[in-house]
Amino acid sequence: MRDFVARVRWLRVAAWSAALALYGLLSTCSLRIGMMEQVQALGALRVATINSPTTYYEGPAGPTGFEYDLAHGFAESLGVGLELVLAATPTEALDMVRNGRAHLAAAGVVVTPRRSKEVRFGRPLLKVVPQLVYRMGRSSPADASRIGEGLVVPARSAAADYLANLQSQHPGLVWTESPDLDTEELLLQVANGEITYTVAPSDLVAINKRYYPQLRVAFDLTGAQDVAWAFPIAIDNSLFTPAQHYLSGLSERELAQLRDRYFGHIEQVDYLSAVTLATHVDTRLPRYREVFERAAQEFDLDWRLLAAIGYQESHWDPAAVSPTGVKGIMQLTLQTAKFLKVSDREDPTQSIMGGARYIRRLIDIIPDEVPHPDRVWLALAAYNMGYGHVIDVRELTRRRGGDSRRWVDVRANLRLLTQPRWHQQTKHGYARGHEAETYVGNVRTYYDMLVYIFGDAPTSPAGESDAPAQPEVQPDPLNIRTPVL
């Protein structure tokens, strides 16, 4: 099998090389091979990308990421496969486009005037703000004129372009450009105190602050900047135009849903919460991890999802009791515990098994029209405020023109359940919807952090009927099989 795969890869490389050679031969004549012809000759869209939580990475369920999803969808629209060419930095991905090694770059590339002279940018995908980052406990400069020594950014990066522009206003501004380190590595060096400052886009800063909570933002270097795909500047429109049609065909709602899937919860947990989680991972979780894993295997869930729920509920404290009388690691009500046949809510094993059974049931009763992972977030909201209120808020979402299948639209209506004008129209009445919104965001963040800390794959495989060959969403914290209850 390996020999066969290697042979297929070799044939693809050979075909691509032959296409490039033919293009080079014909470029001196009146004939030229267009970009779409190159894609069709290869049988795949070759995309330069980077490993990044904002772009592309290998999750527990396979390839995933905001720009990966978009690139995979574009390749499907062309009727070809998707081949990823990994670059170390966005700048290297741009070089791959310029020298013909990739058809386009989908690599978190920020548009700058200098880059616009070297490549052709498509429709903006999102906006980010370049921020000066330092370590908590060190002095925070008020503006660019007060940045001292120790500022390091990736070589030929968008950050370097911003600093060059600022230097005309602040001649004393100095920095070092690293040819070897990317932005995330520099953020880690700032967190460890190895360098004093770096510049990073706001989305990457927010994500990394969850893992390195000592990171702080001094100020924004500029206003919001566009992130877009990059194409060769001197080639025909045969690929560029379909790409713009594909992206333009995605409604703002669809893009908003995709952004929410990857970025909608990244600022949910503050510094103290992140530090506390890291401490409890060492001091409390080892006592209960085996039970979380056993429950996850029995109910076809990711153990880190169960652990994230347990952490949000009780910080993994089996003796936790809320003011409303819910108890234990998974904070089960007395009524729910009786339904689940949990005799002792403060027994860690019973609580975790009961909580796993309950969230599994909630996931399974969410209507089939709701896709993953949205059905997971809706089930979490139900775990927090009751399934009846989830039915109500989905109906309110429909009435107000939203998509009740998508968490981003439902979430926007949760707070209506606290307003008499709206909750009086529902079957189940008042609910603290804002708390459910925070609850789901926290669980999502804790889940992401546990994935980052442990990095291991789910304990049981995904159900064959639900696992796509090419995942198009973020790692699904579930392994869907048949309903348990």
Q: What is the DSSP letter of 121?
A: E
> Which residues are designated catalytic?
313
Query: In the Cβ-directed half-sphere of 116, how many Cα atoms lie within 13 Å?
Result: 11
The rounded distance, in Å, linking the Cα atoms of 403 and 398 is 6
Answer for the pair 348, 328: CB distance below 8 angstroms, yes or no.
yes
Comparing CA positions, the residue from 79, 103, 89 lying closest to residue 55 is 89
How far apart are the C-alpha atoms of 437 and 135, rounded to whole Å? 30
CB atoms within 10 A of CB 336: 19
What six digits make up the tokens of 151? 């500022």
> What is the C-alpha to C-alpha distance for residues 269 and 265, in angstroms, rounded to an integer?
9
Closest CA to 372 of 158, 159, 59: 59
Report the b/e string of 410-420 with b at 16+ CB within 10 A: bbbbbbbbeee
- Indicate the residue type of 167: Q
* Tokens 């059905």 sit on residue: 375
Q: Which has the closest alpha carbon to 162: 114, 116, 119?
A: 114
The secondary structure element, H or E, covering residue 131 is strand 130-135
**Angle, nearest 10°, between helix axes 252-263 and 66-78?**
140
Short-list 285, 286, 295, CA closest to 352: 295
Q: Which residues does 324 contact at the CB level (< 8 Å), separation at least 6?
A: 333
Cβ atoms of 161 and 110 within 8 Å: the answer is: no
